[in-house]
């Protein structure tokens, strides 16, 4: 997620901006930039890559004199991570500078309107429309102009703005993207998050949606969207910097789990319009969709598990045959890709070596490839024929949670779209599924709020040696991910088994007290899974069951039950995985493991 910082005061601004941006690095970024007013003009510097490059370019800010400026770390969404796409963005005369965090949803329309009026764009970003829009509406009165563009811009934004003809002021405004104002002894600041200002002040004000802040060297004023002066309270921050970066959560993993409702909304909402699924970015005609004969889903780790889930959905709903492969196996098995095949590569980082190699193999065989990727401009995003982004934002914890949830949503949407085009999903069926899909964020939140109960249960298992996860159908896919989460962050051996397969060998490992997590969310398989629960329980297993609300009969056969809210049978993974993530997290915390950086693991696996 992008980070913004602004400073106006007695100090040289550039070093303050660089320092503030360094405290926002945890948000993830791929380029950085800043603009500083030097008394005559607005100077700027931009650099792709780490903040260190921007620091070196500006000699730690020394080459950019001036005591009013704005800075930015960009996490690419619209346009690749390049110098020209890095912020700040400007109007043509470079008299207005803007940094932005968020997404301008109507930027295509605004860009067209501005282009028709003769404005020229030098980046691919949505942000640049803001700079030109400010120019278009500029009356010489910044406050009025900022308020005016707020009526024109749709989406989310936190903005830092400098007008060259009002050089003693920084303007800032937000809607649905975070923004705080810091009141310091020798200057005032804006930032996306508290850590960026803590070195200079602990007096912080949280700006609400559609409020404008006007910062000068010796004062801060707040206005509403009508330009009326409003009163706001400042708070004293008591947390230390580490806690602040994690937004008060103990670990990034917990923070990211809590971001899942937002991630699901962000991945879903822009693709549902007027009761229809619109995935414009695919650029696939209905004819092309109808021509798909087979889908190959290829990925690694958790991303692979989302593919295992969606196999059931593509096949069950759209009746398209699906093969799912672990990327490191796919490339070496001399795969047969027939005409009419669509290869879907799923990857959070977009850089996983095996997934990238599988993509290249598929392209070499001449079939259409589609990347479902989180990191904009990553290798897989660039090389795939078609791209569908998951809008999870940067994921810091090594163990994926929110990107996993976003990958599921992207695949639900694809499967539903394909089913509809292939005449397998009626309008009524679609509306019913969309209704359930839209309920998922609130349902996920509900499950997250149940964390206290799961924490208590998890604490009983910190000394466990082996844990088994079982399920059938989609519940098997959920088990795979539940098991991986546990072993990777708690170092407890665990295995996932298709519930019916256990008795073909593995059941010999069940002893008195062995924990078996049984997932039973699929109505048509419920009784079968219960039989498998009975098999392990009679051999001494302690059974934790995850099932749908209403399936209370399971309490006769399971020792501990977690209920998930009712949803469409194809969406249960999005809910059932939440208690399993929480369970793994609390076992790991209880054992004192390094939750965010488990031993031997890397966030992005760029080697075979
Ligand atoms: C597990 C996890 C990994 C990744 C896998 C693929 O929590 O995060 O299993 O899912 O390494 O990574 P991406 O999605 O970046 O290709």
Residue-level pLDDT at 244: 66
Closest CA to 419 of 337, 344, 510, 320: 320
Residue-level pLDDT at 5: 98
Q: Is the CB of 400 under 6 A from ligand 1?
A: yes
What number does the ligand 1 atom closest to the CA of 349 have? 15
Residue-level pLDDT at 600: 86
Active site (annotated) includes residue 300:
no
Ligand 1 mean position, distance from CA 303 (Å)? 6
Residue-level pLDDT at 601: 81
Question: Which residue has the least CA distance to atom 10 on ligand 1?
Answer: 302
Determine which helix (DSSP H) or strand (DSSP E) holds 312, and give its type and residue range: helix 301-313
Helix axes 301-313, 402-421, angle to 10 degrees: 30
Closest CA to 157 of 376, 265, 2, 273: 2
Residue-level pLDDT at 568: 98
Residue-level pLDDT at 606: 66
Q: Which mutation among 303, 325, 392, 584 tests ligand 1's pocket best, with the greatest number of atoms within 8 A of CB?
A: 303
Closest CA to 559 of 538, 589, 588, 590: 538
Residue-level pLDDT at 202: 92
Ligand 1 mean position, distance from CA 290 (Å)? 31
Averaged over successive runs of 10 residues, the pLDDT of the chain (608 residues) comes to: 93 97 86 96 95 96 97 91 95 97 92 97 95 96 96 93 96 90 96 91 92 96 95 83 77 96 95 95 94 98 98 98 97 92 96 93 96 89 94 90 98 98 97 98 97 96 96 98 98 96 92 97 97 96 97 96 98 98 98 92 72
- Are the C-beta atoms of 27 and 1 separated by less than 8 Å? yes
Residue-level pLDDT at 243: 65
Residue-level pLDDT at 566: 98
Ligand 1 mean position, distance from CA 350 (Å)? 10
Residue-level pLDDT at 240: 67
State CA 154 to chain mean position distance. Answer: 20
Place of tokens 């399936």: 551
Ligand 1 mean position, distance from CA 304 (Å)? 8
Residue-level pLDDT at 408: 98
Phi-psi region of 75 (alpha: psi -120 to 50; beta: other; left: phi over 0): beta
User: Token pair of 164, please?
Assistant: 């060259």
Residue-level pLDDT at 242: 65
Q: Is the CB of 303 under 6 A from ligand 1?
A: yes
User: pTM (2 decimals)?
Assistant: 0.80
Q: Is the CB of 348 under 6 A from ligand 1?
A: yes
Active site (annotated) includes residue 503:
no
What number does the ligand 1 atom closest to the CA of 305 have? 10
Residue-level pLDDT at 239: 67
């Amino acid at each position: 997620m992008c980070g913004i910082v602004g400073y106006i005061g007695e100090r040289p601004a550039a070093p303050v901006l660089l320092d503030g941006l360094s405290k926002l690095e945890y948000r993830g970024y791929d380029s950085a930039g800043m603009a500083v007013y030097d008394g005559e003009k607005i100077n700027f510097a931009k650099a792709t890559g780490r903040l260190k490059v921007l620091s070196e370019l500006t000699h730690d800010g020394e080459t950019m004199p001036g005591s009013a400026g704005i800075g930015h770390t960009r996490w690419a969404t619209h346009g690749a991570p390049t110098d020209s796409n890095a912020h700040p963005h400007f109007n043509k005369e470079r008299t207005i500078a803007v940094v932005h965090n968020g997404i301008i949803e109507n930027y295509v329309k605004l860009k067209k309107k501005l282009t028709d009026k003769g404005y020229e764009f030098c980046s691919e970003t949505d942000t640049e429309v803001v700079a030109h829009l400010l120019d278009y509406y500029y009356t010489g009165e910044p406050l009025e102009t900022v308020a005016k563009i707020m009526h024109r811009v749709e989406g989310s934004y936190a903005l830092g703005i400098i007008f060259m003809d009002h050089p003693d002021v920084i303007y800032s405004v937000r809607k649905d993207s975070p923004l705080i104002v810091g009141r310091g002894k020798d200057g005032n600041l804006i930032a996306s998050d508290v850590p960026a200002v803590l070195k200079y002040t602990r007096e912080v004000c949280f700006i609400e949606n559609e409020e404008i802040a006007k910062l000068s060297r010796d004062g801060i004023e707040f206005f509403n969207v009508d330009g009326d002066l409003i009163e706001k309270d400042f708070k004293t921050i008591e947390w230390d910097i580490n806690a602040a970066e994690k937004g008060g959560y103990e670990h990034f993993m917990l923070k990211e789990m809590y971001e899942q409702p937002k991630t699901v909304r962000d991945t879903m909402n822009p693709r549902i319009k007027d009761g229809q699924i619109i995935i414009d970015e695919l650029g696939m005609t209905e004819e092309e969709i109808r021509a798909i004969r087979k889908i190959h889903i290829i990925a690694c780790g958790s991303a692979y598990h989302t593919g295992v889930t969606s196999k059931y959905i593509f096949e069950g709903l759209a009746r398209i045959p699906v093969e799912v492969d672990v990327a490191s196996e796919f490339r070496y098995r001399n795969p047969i890709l027939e005409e009419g095949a669509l290869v879907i590569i799923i990857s959070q980082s977009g850089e996983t070596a095996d997934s990238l190699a599988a993509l290249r193999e598929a392209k070499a065989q001449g079939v259409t490839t589609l990347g479902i990727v989180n990191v904009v401009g990553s290798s897989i995003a660039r090389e795939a024929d078609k791209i569908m982004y998951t809008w999870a934002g940067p994921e810091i914890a090594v163990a994926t949670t929110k990107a996993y949830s976003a990958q599921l949503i992207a695949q639900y949407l694809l499967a539903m779209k394909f089913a509809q085009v292939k005449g397998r999903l009626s309008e009524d069926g679609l509306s019913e599924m969309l209704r359930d899909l839209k309920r998922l964020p609130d349902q996920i939140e509900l499950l997250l709020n149940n964390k206290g109960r799961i924490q208590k249960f998890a604490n009983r298992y910190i000394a466990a040696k082996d844990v088994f996860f079982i399920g059938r159908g989609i519940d098997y896919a959920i088990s795979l991910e539940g098991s991986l989460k546990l072993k990777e962050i708690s170092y407890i051996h665990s295995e996932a088994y298709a519930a019916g397969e256990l008795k073909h060998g593995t059941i010999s490992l069940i002893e008195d007290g062995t924990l078996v997590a049984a997932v039973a969310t699929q109505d048509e398989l419920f009784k079968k899974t219960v039989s498998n629960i009975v098999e392990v329980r009679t051999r001494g297993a302690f059974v934790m069951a995850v099932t749908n609300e209403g399936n209370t009969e399971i309490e006769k056969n399971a020792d501990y039950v977690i209920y998930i809210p009712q949803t469409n049978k194809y969406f249960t993974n999005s809910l059932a995985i939440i208690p399993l993530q929480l369970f793994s997290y609390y076992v790991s915390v209880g054992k004192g493991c390094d939750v965010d950086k488990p031993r031997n693991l890397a966030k992005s696996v760029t080697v075979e």
